[in-house]
Structure 1
Amino acid sequence: MGYPMAGHLETAGYSVTVYNRTAAKADGWAAKHSGNMAQTPREAAQGCDFVMACVGNDDDLRSVCMGPDGAFAGMAEGAVFVDHTTVSAQVTRELAAIAAQSGIGYVDAPVSGGQAGAENGQLAVMCGGAEDDYARAEPVMQSYGKVVKRLGEVGAGQLTKMCNQIAIAGLVQGLSEALHMAEQAGLDGEAVVDVISGGAAGSWQMVNRHKTMLADEFEHGFAVDWMRKDLAICLKTADDVGASLPVTALVDQFYKDVQKMGGGRWDTSSLIKRLRVEK
């Protein structure tokens, strides 16, 4: 995700320095674009008004931000750190508080739209943070965002991303069952989708994933392993705030079944695979 997002920043005219824990990825980006490559997060952050991060999980984010070679160590007072990772609201608030001690702004800004959204600059960016920090960072995020919106103080972006993942989990399971029903009933799945996608059942998942689902192809987006990471955050936070997520909990177990089938790196539409196996 970060690779094309950084590319959009460079295309928009910003001076960009990239860092990746796998140096070959940063090398490849620098060879393709006019930006620079750094050896550490601190080096990448030095002299920058904005530092964008997009890594894997809470621990990855801490490692990129903290320590003598972390991004915070290289950032000047008044700079803004923008986190595009999907992580817990807890680590977001923890790191924002640490950043504030050095006068660094912090915006949590997880994204939705998948690899295609990142490549096409059409991501939904859901943000939390102080109004001033967000106002400064918003024009920069517009480089790759179709929708960029502040939902509240630090942590609100992550909470909104949880709502996003909860909605997707139920949608993908419903779509999987609908396509499976069509197959079992001897219907033309494409024809079924042509009709129902124009009505109340239509969704982004239906339009963009039904063809590959019918073709039993699952190499087209966000991986099951990452979805389970996200759903674990959702379920833990639901307990904390007193929300009930029975469908989300069930679909999380369905994704666990997919992992057991060896599909941890399949995209999230692979839920239909377990239905085909069960038949």
Structure 2
Amino acid sequence: MKTFRVSFVGLGVMGSPMAGHLASAGHSVTVYNRTVSRADEWCARHQGQSASTVREAGREQDVVFMCVGDDTDVIAVGTQLLAVMQAGSILVDHTTASAAVARQLHQEAKERGIGFIDAPVSGGQAGAENGQLTVMCGGERDYFEKVEPIMACYARHSQLLGECGSGQLAKMMNQICIAGIVQGLAEALHFGQQAGLDCEQVINVISKGAAQSWQMENRAQTMLKGEYEFGFAVDWMRKDLAIALDEARRNGSTLALTALVDQYYADVQKSGGSRWDTSSLLTRLSKPE
């Protein structure tokens, strides 16, 4: 595969392994992270170099990837990158953010002759580490076709879903689905415990039928053990659901279940579970055996 000069801005639990896969594939990788020690640690593990500023990371690169915190971070970082990126280069945003922010950066990029793809991901930390992420993309097809082979370093599937902002809208749908599924799984486990069933045996049976889901396969056992110190944090899920609920108010859709589960996650936060995995919804209902 042809190799490129790329930068990766944001070396969190997702960004660090994603950038690592790019380096392993032979791309010339420059990284930037607000906490310098993380960039230093990454460079010690992978072939690559670190930039001292966001702007330095954006200069003279074919493609710049970023995976930061929220809308405010996306605007702050994206604006700095677009100010120095060369015409014809491409900025790919893997942050889960609003479609409005994606459209804003797309317009700024277009005025500078720079490509922009909004590309939020699904698959969690394990997916990033194993190179098995799903990437939901919005933007122009020409730019997507240029970056898709590069994203394949850490993605099992990437798909262009429409104009800029479509990737973020698809990620909202993804989080809406997860919220409902996790709540349903939590209630089922609570029901089984109250009924005196061996829930491990029940899950072993119903996971082979129509009730099967990724959450059931990967989270039911840890939920039964009361293990939540891992995975996708409740704080992050509430950020994502807030984006979805805000978009729903704009487009007139009704997200009654999503709004309810969001409040359940608020309960988990109040009980000290801000950094627990999203499967911690069960803690609202009962203490695990």
Normalising by the smaller structure, the TM-score range is over 0.9
CA contact (8 A) 1:41 1:65 kept: no
Who is 1:23 aligned against?
36
Question: Which portions of structure 1, spanning 4 or more consecutive aligned residues, are displaced by more than 2 angstroms?
Answer: none
1:176-207 per-position Cα deviation (integer Å, ceiling 9, x unaligned): 11111111112112111110001000000100
1:45-97 per-position Cα deviation (integer Å, ceiling 9, x unaligned): 2111100000110001111122xxx2112210000000000000001101111
Who is 1:32 aligned against?
45
Query: What letter corresponds to residue 107 of structure 2 in structure 1?
Result: A
Who is 1:116 aligned against?
126
For residues 173-252 of structure 1, what are the structure 2 equivalents within 5 Å? Answer: 173-252=183-262
Query: Secondary structure, in 3 states, of the residue corresponding to 2:161?
Result: strand
Percentage of pairs with the same residue: 61
Task: Note if 1:153 corresponds to 2:153.
Answer: no
CA contact (8 A) 1:162 1:230 kept: yes
**Match among 36, 53, 75 for residue 85 of structure 2:** 75
Query: What letter corresponds to residue 174 of structure 1 in structure 2?
Result: G
1:13 Cα deviation after fit: 1.2
For residues 106-145 of structure 1, what are the structure 2 equivalents within 5 Å? Answer: 106-145=116-155
Task: Note if 1:51 corresponds to 2:61.
Answer: no
Who is 1:89 aligned against?
99
Query: Secondary structure, in 3 states, of the residue corresponding to 2:189?
Result: helix
Is the deviation greater in 130-139 or in 178-187? 178-187
**Match among 6, 23, 27 for residue 14 of structure 1:** 27
Query: Secondary structure, in 3 states, of the residue corresponding to 2:285?
Result: helix
Query: Secondary structure, in 3 states, of the residue corresponding to 2:28?
Result: coil
Q: Taking structure 1 as the reference length, what is the TM-score of the superposition?
A: 0.97
Who is 1:272 aligned against?
282
Task: Note if 1:254 corresponds to 2:264.
Answer: yes
Query: What letter corresponds to residue 113 of structure 1 in structure 2?
Result: G
Task: Note if 1:61 corresponds to 2:113.
Answer: no
Query: Residues of 1 paired with 2:26 and 2:99: CA distance?
Result: 32
Query: Residues of 2 paired with 1:8 and 1:189: CA distance?
Result: 38
CA contact (8 A) 1:209 1:269 kept: yes
1:91-148 per-position Cα deviation (integer Å, ceiling 9, x unaligned): 1101111111111100000000000000000001000000111111111111111110
Query: Residues of 1 paired with 2:220 and 2:232: CA distance?
Result: 15
Query: Secondary structure, in 3 states, of the residue corresponding to 2:182?
Result: helix
Structure 1: give runs of 5+ residues left out of the alignment: none
Query: Residues of 2 paired with 1:38 and 1:211: CA distance?
Result: 42
Query: Secondary structure, in 3 states, of the residue corresponding to 1:28?
Result: helix
Q: Taking structure 2 as the reference length, what is the TM-score of the superposition?
A: 0.93
1:220 Cα deviation after fit: 2.3
Task: Note if 1:2 corresponds to 2:15.
Answer: yes
Query: Residues of 1 paired with 2:28 and 2:246: CA distance?
Result: 39
Query: Secondary structure, in 3 states, of the residue corresponding to 1:211?
Result: helix
The total of aligned residue pairs comes to 275
1:242 Cα deviation after fit: 1.1
Query: Residues of 2 paired with 1:147 and 1:51: CA distance?
Result: 20
Query: Residues of 2 paired with 1:229 and 1:263: CA distance?
Result: 15
Query: Secondary structure, in 3 states, of the residue corresponding to 1:3?
Result: helix
Who is 1:103 aligned against?
113
Provide the alpha-carbon RMSD of the alignment. Answer: 1.1
